[in-house]
Amino acid sequence: MSRPKTPYVAPEERAVPDLDSGKYLVMWQGPNHPGITGNMSLRLVIEGDSVVDCETHVGYLHRGFEKLMERRLWMQNFPLVCRIAVPEPDFNEYCYAAALEELAGIEVPDKAVWLRTLSLEMIRLASFLMWIGGQAGAFGHGTIAQWSVTMRDYVLDLFEELSGGRIYHMYIIPGGVRADVPPGFLRHVLETMTVVEQNLKDIELVMFHNAVMKMRAVGLGYIPPDWVDRYGITGPNARAAGFKRDLRKDRGYLAYPRLSFEPVVGAESDAFERARLRLAEMFQGIDLIRQIVDFLPSEGPFRERLPNPLHWKIPAGETYVAAECTRGEYGFYVVSDGGDKPRRVAVRGPSYTHAVSVMERLVRGVNIADVAGLMVSLHTYPPEIER
């Protein structure tokens, strides 16, 4: 592929186009647009068919979670937090629970640790499956989206069996998890993994050995490595730029230190590289799920007993708990003033920087037909920006 990489623009420099000159067109992409991940919009300034300026507009999904949480009991927030990132809710549950447990000095039983790890890996797989549909769709491969969303539904079936809910699992409760695995569940997990793996191989063949995909994605949305720290880029977006950073390794939370895996790292740092890296992480995720099924203790309690949730007070203190979700560093900053409700909860979603600062820079010079593909290649979920 001979297309030049996106020219580097210094972050502080922003050319303000003269809209009265008649040279430019202002175009809104979103909030209702099939090429937008969720409800947000890009205000694009276009010259010919390439973008010269972009502003990300968010707020269509703002529900004031952080404010709502300050009004609710510690335990009442447990069903609330999962809604902050819809396609990948379990990271909210885990970060919130882990932060509370840390502040209250609660040790979670080993079985719960494994079940939490299983839950997080399964939702990572489901989230990637949803992403791959979006990425393929943005480049005109709608059929792949149908396959991958079907596969995601099979994973959601597993969640339904485990937790009783497909989208909002509300499974990782402060103190542990809500239930042990039901009979036959682990067998269903392995069967589903076989189906998903087979399907992913098809997707790999169709999508990554595909002339159209290569023509459109290679070289698109190049992130220079020095942007990674400059913009707080995390997750696959940073790994595709050559950074071996994975909180599952670096923080070693839950059962990850007991699992064998190596973070996948890329080099090219363009949309194609990021997609390939995510695909590799999906195969890795299937392997991790199989490992977890092997290691899962069959006996033992799955939840530590907590005080009465109606009166539970958490000692004053603050902490920040982060985990590696599919998009990068997902974190909860929780402050307690010693009362029965949080003083402050702040959610750090990786899309916050990816979809705003990074996107606004990266999209300059891109053909308008590629804006959707670029956006999806950053893998952003608007609700975690707005909370």
Partner 1 sequence: MDIKDIIAPFAVWKRAFEKPFTVRKPIDERPGAPRYRGFHINDADTCVGCGTCESICMNKAIDLVPVEGRSPSGGDSGLRPRVDYGRCCWCALCVDICPSGSLGMSNEYLWIDSDPEVFRYVPGVDPKPWDGAELGYRRAEGYRLLDMERVPMPELSHAEGVKSFLELVKGYSREQAEREADRCVACGVCVASCPAHMDIPGYINAVRGGDLETGLRLLYETNPFPEACGRICTRACESACAIGSGGDPVAIRWLKRYIADQVELADYGKSLPRAESATGRKVAVVGAGPGGLSAAYYLALLGHKVTVFEKDEAPGGMLRYGIPEYRLPYPALDKDVDYIRSLGVEIRHGATVGKDPALAKLREDFDAVYLSTGLPSAYRLDVPGDEHPRVLDGVAVLAAATRGEELGLGRRVAVVGGGNVAMDAARTALRRGCEVDIVYRRRQVDMPADPEEIREAKAEGARLIERAIPLRVEDSGDGGARFVWNEAEMVQKEPGKRPVPEPIPGAVVTERYDSIIAAIGQGPELSYITEADGVEVRRMKPVTDRTGRTSVPTVFAGGDLVNEKKDAISAIADGHRAARAIDRILGGRGD
Partner 2 sequence: MRELADMLSGRYGAREWHDQRKDLSSVTVDASKLRDVLTWLRDEAGYAHLAFATAVDEIERKVFRLTYTVHNYGTAHGILVHCEIDRDRPVMESIHRLWGQAWTYQREMREWYGIDFPGSPRVDEEFVLEGWEGPPMMRRDFDSLAYSDATYAERPGRETRDPAAYMKEKLYPEADA
d(CA 385, CA 83): 12
How many Å apart are CA 38 and CA 56, to the nearest integer? 13
Phi, psi of 275, deg, nearest 5: -65, -45
Contact between 107 and partner 2 (CB under 8 A)?
A: no
Closest separation between CB of residue 252 and partner 1, Å?
28
Instruction: Sketch the per residue contact string, 62 through 101, with partner 1: x for CB under 8 A, - otherwise.
Output: ----------xx-xxxxxx---------------------
Rounded to 5 degrees, φ, ψ at 142 are -65, -30
Binding mask 3-32 for partner 1 (x = CB under 8 A): ------------------------------
Per CB under 8 A, the segment of 49-57, 163-171, 330-338, 351-359 that binds partner 1 is 163-171
Position among 17, 225, 242, 309 found at the interface with partner 1 (CB under 8 A) = 309
**Which of these, 244, 143, 255, 118, lies nearest to 202 by C-alpha position?**
143
Cα angle vertex 293, ends 290, 299, to 5°?
170
The pairing of strands 317-325 and 41-47 is: unpaired
Q: In angstroms, how far is CA 5 from the centroid of its own chain?
A: 26
β-bridge partners, 332: 321, 347
Q: How far is the CB of 183 from partner 1 (least distance, A)?
A: 9
**188 binding partner (options partner 1, partner 2, none; Cβ < 5 to 8 Å by kind):** none
For residues 73 and 185, what is the distance between their CA atoms, to the nearest angstrom? 33
Q: Is 138 in the site for partner 1 (CB under 8 A)?
A: no
Does 343 engage in binding with partner 2 (CB under 8 A)? yes
Out of 165, 242, 309, 317, which residue is the one contacting partner 2 (CB under 8 A)?
317
Q: Which residues bind partner 2 (CB under 8 A)?
A: 11-12, 14, 57-59, 62, 64, 66-68, 70-71, 102, 227, 229-232, 234, 243, 245, 250-251, 317-320, 322, 329, 331, 333, 335, 343-344, 346, 348, 352-353, 356-358, 361, 385-386
